[in-house]
Structure 1
Amino acid sequence: MPLIYDPSLVLLSLAVAIQGSYVSLRIALQIGGSHGLKRRLLLTGAAFSLAVAIWGMHFVGMLAARFPVAVNYLVLPTLLSFLVCVLVVGIALEAVSLGQRTHFTLIAAPIIMGGGIVTMHYIGMWALHESAHMSHNAFIVAVSILISVVASAVALWLTFDNVRRPSLFICATLLGLAISGMHYTAMAGTTFYPLPTAISPNSPAVSPALLAIVVAVVAFALSGVFLLTFVPEQSSKAPKPAAAPPTPQVELSLSTEAIPGSETGEEPRVESIAGVIALAPSPPLAAKTLPIEREGVKRSIRAEHIFAVHADAHYTFVFDGVDSIFCPLSIGEVEEQLAGEAFLRVHRSHLVNLDHVKCVRRAGDNAIAELIGSQPHTVPVSRTKFNELRALLKERAFRVGDELRA
């Protein structure tokens, strides 16, 4: 028999899915530039946050349905559905956020995530088998799987695309639609038959609406905890530079010699400066810095110690010749902060310090810049920036040669 849904609870289930997806994606975007314990914690937080969103949406969606009998949820399948969801989602997020994203990972990750959403749904449905007998329409089941995989693919591709990434809320909405779309499509292909021993639907002590609200509040609270714990505060302001030292006093020592014929009463004039102007070297401008965060500790890094900057979502990662360090600024804010320094935007998501570029060369249809450092590191260079970068490097080489000859 077809099911009837409470529209308000359907909207609540969609809100749970979108909110949890947003928090999970915000956390997952930081995984690529983290290391050690922090990387594991971020991956765990992203996986649990998304699993809570999927499981919470499923549970609220089930409570939104008006079944012909009272439904009792078995504990073991309900708990197992959540644990399987955490494991599968964690694998998908690890594949798409760690290391270099290839065509294989960008195809495998949505399949794994979509499969995890489907697996969680049907294990959760297994928790109802003592309350009603269920039959599934194979075609609609296949459609629900396709919705889950395709929507997950679009959400993940847009989230981890540094060039064409839209607002993260749009990505989270797409992932939330993948979760809820799969659920309600699968439910439309499921037929429920009351068992002879089923309990009357008028018997439960707690109404489905109240239980759904409780589940939603718990899901929102857990997502809020993950958001406050793992997502750093984004600031567009760099640390305030130190005040410049006071300008030293200028001392002059002058001597005058009378012009021949001054004895005639003409005013003598200055012929030479016998002393030297005692000026200290002009103080350098305050060093430009960027805020960074390593292992949860906020610090700053000077511009001359920065080899390259790589955009990742709304944040960036700074390469210091050895390691990539998280920076809370966007690539545009970093470029503005380092204006006037030896930095060039060689790609939509990459900045390089010209002082640390070893060479620039073609690599197939593209180009790369090799950096000087203890660790081999290359930066992609767009076609439109290749000639400009090469010209700047030659100009700087000639300038350094002239200075050495002088």
Structure 2
Amino acid sequence: MPARRDQPVISMHHNLYLVALSILVAIQASYVGLNLALRIPAAFAIDRRLLIAASAITLSVGIWSMHFIGMLSMGMASKVDYLVLPTLLSLLLCVLVTGIAVYLASLRSRHLLAVAAGVMGLGITTMHYVGMIALNSSARMTYDPAYVVVSFAIAVTASGLALWLAFSAERRPPLFLCATFLGCAVSGMHYTAMAGTAFDFSIAGQTVPTSFISSDTLAVIVSFVAFAISGIFMLTLVPMRAAADRGNPTPRTPQDGADDFHDAGLPGGAAADPRAGNPAGLLDAAASGLLPIEKNGNRFHIAANEVVSVHANAHYTYVFNGRDDLFCPLSITEIFERLPKPAFYRTHRSYIVNLEHVGRVKKSGDAAVAELDSPVRRTVPISRARVADLRQELAAHQSRRHSGVL
């Protein structure tokens, strides 16, 4: 509803330097957040949860900071007080919604990707209008419904494009381009919504406490905090994952990787050699291609045809069955020896995949990843030297399947 003529409505003008700073904060946070999110499909257990949390926090702090700096860039007709509770609520809401959107996008399903775009767009828009409640003690605000709809459309469309480019495009463009789209989604939504907002300061008191910090200084502090949070996550999580995902320059046999992992031992204290000191029945399990796994304190075996991928983690391994990561006390070398060949292929010193569940091989940096066709979508890194060999193995596997050998 437009404001009455007798209402002291401000004319909209902005500090262009702070506007540029707000957009820069949004793009920077989007870059780090998407960088972390892209590593989620190849992670598991605690690493997976850490990356989801770090990506959500980085994105939400950047989104919230962009909106806050955008508000500071406005020239107000009167001094305003920001209520603390709505301001914090908008941040917490942004963390929750962004985390859900990042997780859904990391599953790499086109259907879920559309849901993630809607969730993220709705979260950005809701966060903005919840945050605007913080000004209620200083001004009465009215919103033009057309601008509300347009701002929501911008947030959903640009978020969807950014997530699609990052997670589903056949050949992903530079990450900075994806981050720019997402940063523009946040900034475009904010400034479009503000263009459709009218302020009435008639309810403001005659005397308003003067802030000891200028808007420019506060904007710099907020942007510094946003950059610092992104930098901490980037320095602590990205090198860790990069080291784990880096392939070897030359192909290695399963025996070559034996020294890379300490033998964890078999259940019951068995030695590294599966034929030495095994409990009763373990030899039969090994001969049958069964793998010992543990879940919720229970020990049982999983058949080879139920294994989608295997990931080594320090001294132990995790077997992925398409939905869950199951702990296995064997080393990855022992597991590879038990699994039937050529159905299983060691793509990396730390990874094994079931060729039956490889959806496609996709270039990633100077190497590649295998996208798994499973209920819970996941990618597996491929050493650069093994990409061509894996493609040949996949072609041979498809040929055997069509000829009825499998």
Question: What TM-score do you get using the length of structure 1 for normalisation?
Answer: 0.66
1:165 offset after TM fit, Å?
Answer: 1.3
Q: Assess if the C-alpha contact under 8 Å between 2:138 and 2:203 holds in 1.
A: no
- 1:265: which partner in 2? none
1:81 to 68, 85, 90: 90
Aligned-partner SS, 2:41: helix
Structure 1 residues not aligned, in runs of 5+: 244-283, 346-350, 362-389, 398-406
Q: Name the structure 2 match of 1:278.
A: none
Paired letter, 2:200:
Y
Do residues 61 (structure 1) and 61 (structure 2) align? no
Equivalent AA in structure 2 for residue 305 of structure 1? R
Aligned residue in 2 for 1:262? none
Are the counterparts in 1 of residues 139 and 204 from structure 2 also a CA contact under 8 Å?
Answer: no
The CA deviation string for residues 107-140 of structure 1, in whole angstroms up to 9 with x for no partner, is: 2111110000000000100000101111111111
Structure 1: distance between partners of 2:398 and 2:103? 31
Task: Tell me which moved more, 203-212 or 229-238.
Answer: 229-238
Percentage of matched positions with identical amino acids:
39
Deviation at 1:196, TM superposition (A): 3.9
Aligned to 1:207: 214
Give secondary structure in 2 for the equivalent of 1:25. Answer: helix
Deviation at 1:240, TM superposition (A): 6.8
Q: Indicate if the aligned counterparts of 1:54 and 1:179 stay in contact, CA closer than 8 A.
A: yes
Change over 3 Å in CA distance of 1:316–1:41 after alignment to 2: farther
Aligned residues: 310
**Match for residue 343 of structure 1?**
390
C-alpha displacement at 1:238, in angstroms?
4.5
User: Structure 1 residue 226 and structure 2 residue 233: aligned?
Assistant: yes
Task: Answer whether contact 1:69 1:200 (CA < 8 A) is retained.
Answer: no
Q: 1:98-247 residue pairs with structure 2 within 5 A? A: 98=107, 101-103=109-111, 105-198=112-205, 203-232=210-239, 234=242, 238-239=247-248
Distance 2:201 2:387 in 1: 70
The alpha-carbon distance between structure 1 residues 296 and 228, as it changes in their structure 2 partners (threshold 3 A), is farther
- In the alignment, which residue of structure 1 is the partner of 2:53? 44
Distance 1:295 1:60 in 2: 42
Q: Tell me how far 1:313 sits from its aligned partner.
A: 4.8
Change (3 A) 1:77 1:227: same
Q: Summarize the Cα distance change of 1:166–1:220 in structure 2 as closer, same or farther, 3 Å threshold.
A: same
Structure 1 residue 2, shift from structure 2 partner: 2.2
Structure 1 CA distance for aligned equivalents of residues 246 and 85 of structure 2 = 50
Question: Is the contact made by 2:93 and 2:123 (CA closer than 8 Å) also made in structure 1?
Answer: yes
C-alpha RMSD of the superposition:
3.9
TM-score (norm 2): 0.66
Does the aligned pair in 2 maintain the 1:18–1:172 contact within 8 Å? yes
Q: Please state how far the C-alpha of 1:66 moved relative to its aligned partner.
A: 1.1
Alignment of 1:314-325 (within 5 A): 314=365, 316-317=368-369
**1:230–1:316 CA distance, 2 compared to 1 (3 A):** farther
**8 Å contact 1:293–1:326 — kept in the other structure?**
no
C-alpha contact 1:241 1:288 (8 A) present in aligned 2? no
Contact 1:69 1:199 in 2 (8 A): no
How far off is 1:36 after superposition? 1.7
CA distance in 2, matches of 1:221, 1:193: 36
Separation in structure 1 between the aligned mates of residue 137 and residue 377 of structure 2, nearest angstrom: 53
8 Å contact 1:132–1:198 — kept in the other structure? no
Q: Assess, with a 3 A threshold, how the Cα gap between structure 1 residues 174 and 199 changes in structure 2: closer, same or farther.
A: farther
Structure 1 residues 324, 338: CA separation in 2 closer, same or farther (over 3 Å shift)? farther
The separation in 1 between residues aligned to 2:74 and 2:82, in whole angstroms, is 14
1:254-279 CA-to-partner distances (Å, cap 9, x unmatched) read xxxxxxxxxxxxxxxxxxxxxxxxxx
Structure-2 separation of matches of 1:304 and 1:352: 9
Q: Which residue of 2 aligns with 1:378?
A: none
Distance 1:139 1:95, change over 3 A: same
For each residue in 1:270-315, what CA deviation from the matched residue of structure 2 results, as whole angstroms up to 9, or x when unmatched? xxxxxxxxxxxxxx9x9699x9985578999899634457447547
Give the match for residue 305 of structure 1.
346
Alignment partner, residue 259 of structure 1? none
Contact 1:88–1:112 at 8 Å: present in 2 too? yes
- Equivalent position of 2:285 in the other structure: none
Q: Distance in 1 between matches of 2:161 and 2:180?
A: 11
Compute the displacement of 1:37 (Å).
1.7
Deviations along 1:63-87, one digit per CA (max 9) or x if unpaired, are: 1111111111111000000011111
